[in-house]
Amino acid sequence: MAVRSTAAPPTPWSRSLAEPQIHETSFVHSFSNLIGDVRIGANVIVAPGTTIRADEGTPFYLGENTNIQDGVVIHGLEQGRVIGDDQNQYSVWIGKNTCITHMALIHGPAYVGDNSFIGFRSTVFNARVGAGCIVMMHALIQDVEIPPGKYVPSGAIITNQQQADRLPDVQEQDEEFAHHVVGINQALRAGYRCAADSKCIAPIRDENTKSYTSNGVTVLELERSSEVSSNRLGAETIEQIRYLLEQGYKIGTEHVDQRRFRTGSWTSCQPIEPRSIGEAIAALESCLRDHSGEYVRLFGIDKGRRRVLETIIQRPDGTVGAPANFRAPATQSHHSYNGGGNGSSNGNGSGRISSETVDQIRQLLAGGYKIGTEHVDERRFRTGSWQSCEAINANSANDVVAALEDCINNHQGEYVRLIGIDTKAKRRVLESIIQRPNGQASPSGSQKSFVSTTATATATATSTRLSTEVVDQLRQLLAGGYKISVEHVDQRRFRTGSWTSTGPIEATSERAAIAALEANLAEYPGEYVRLIGIDSKAKRRVLETIIQRP
């Protein structure tokens, strides 16, 4: 294919007429556009529909083994440069072994380090993303420097350095996922180059021709026809089985009755060790027949004995089949199985634990944190004399939800709270009350308020007056010698954690601190407002508690 590339147009700031420089081992699709001084290293793939324009900001650099996927736009401002790894100035530098995925925007001045991943529709502008970072979908990174090895969740808006410095570290499964995507795109690059080379493609066509049987039907078609004959499994489930087998995963199945479904007490069916997709389908149908009227779920098992693509394929009402929106996911994360972790289509099969609490549990587990629970009666609540429930040594959302429900059931009429623990730093990253003495078994007025790096408590204010709980917490902070601050955020930015500080409260008495807090509540009506306790010696937060909600 002829590559659509042109020289940079003459402009008031540049008359160099520089042209793209593409390494001979790279593949640039003819339906992409390259303009100006774009330097592409070895083994790069540039997919259809991309636009890489070094006509204003220039030059651009794309490192070896990097993949630029469909719909990506790379451009740069005429003013502004970053320092590349070769110590030269660039408008855009993208390192080696990096993935810039579908519809992402990289706008210079911008630097993306080696072995990084930029997710679908995410934007990087006037920023540096360090080596080994994972940026998920629909994120905005602007005017900041992301330290190496950090994880940016989907939908995050990172526009100040404090937010960037608080980001969690990338986990091992995230690194494996990014490497997997690089490997897939390297295979695609080789495939595209082979398809355009008659000497390479001819033997493959001959081989495919020989695979036909004497009556003109291929072996693959025969196998597919046997799959379609299944009267129990839907096409989506069969596609999921095929995907798992092709990726080298083992296949497992589990079942549970309606009574045990809420506690996540699943039981394994017979192990599936298929030599073909037909055998896998037969084994799966056998499990469905043996456990009619129960929930049955399918999952894959990787080499690290971790579950992937956990999906309920039968329900007690007789519904059979995977969700109709299943697609073989080229960019499926290894911890995606948590989406059905407690056996419900909405991720919350528990009658006691709210969906918001389950979301917090998933985020803690995905971040590698340990989970604990504590309880306290109403009398001891004011003094903060919490006691631990039974230790939770679980790595699945199912088991953690069951343990939480046991704690709630054993301590009716008391406060119960969920704890997230960073074992490496030996500190708490989350405190969230999930039961109150009035029987409410979820955070009050809860929304997704998970904070990954600091302790969180929950309290509310019904007006511009502070609740008794907040006054008690304020009193404890002052007695402990901690500094006090306030932050606020509107509803749109609440989900991305983009809080804005109102500055420290310099109060010499409890009464003055209360007056300052109430003034902040009155100043930001209709927004979230939270109280911050700060250990100035250790330079860390000891408390974050929401005291007003919209």
Comparing CA positions, the residue from 10, 62, 63 lying closest to residue 38 is 62
Question: Do the beta carbons of residue 297 and residue 265 sit within 8 Å?
Answer: no
* Known catalytic membership, residue 56: yes
Q: What phi and psi, each to the nearest 5 degrees, are found at residue 441?
A: -105, 45
What are 121's two structure tokens?
A: 């529709």
Helices 172-195 & 198-210 angle (0-180, nearest 10): 100
Question: Do the beta carbons of residue 321 and residue 315 sit within 8 Å?
Answer: no
What are 10's two structure tokens?
A: 């003459």
Q: How far is CA 211 from the centre of its chain?
A: 42
What are 268's two structure tokens?
A: 């394994």
Question: Do the beta carbons of residue 549 and residue 543 sit within 8 Å?
Answer: no
Comparing CA positions, the residue from 168, 142, 144, 139 lying closest to residue 155 is 139
Question: Do the beta carbons of residue 545 and residue 470 sit within 8 Å?
Answer: yes
Question: Which one-letter DSSP state was computed for residue 351?
Answer: S
Q: How far is CA 4 from the centre of its chain?
A: 35
In sign, the C-alpha dihedral spanning 289, 290, 293, 299 is negative
d(CA 240, CA 126): 40
In sign, the C-alpha dihedral spanning 361, 367, 368, 372 is negative
What 3-state class would DSSP assign to 239? Answer: helix
DSSP letters for 6-74: EPPPPBTTB------EE-TT-EE-TTSEEEESEEE-TT-EE-TT-EEEESSS--EEE-TT-EE-TT-EE
Question: Do the beta carbons of residue 175 and residue 132 sit within 8 Å?
Answer: yes
What are 397's two structure tokens?
A: 């959302």
Tokens 């456990």 sit at which residue?
291
Comparing CA positions, the residue from 341, 345, 391, 392 lying closest to residue 363 is 341
Question: Do the beta carbons of residue 242 and residue 274 sit within 8 Å?
Answer: no
d(CA 402, CA 256): 14
The enclosing H or E element of 357 equals: helix 355-366
Marked catalytic residue, from 56, 294, 310, 374: 56
Contact partners, residue 369, CB within 8 Å, separation at least 6: 420, 421, 422, 423, 429, 430
Question: What residues are labeled active site?
Answer: 56
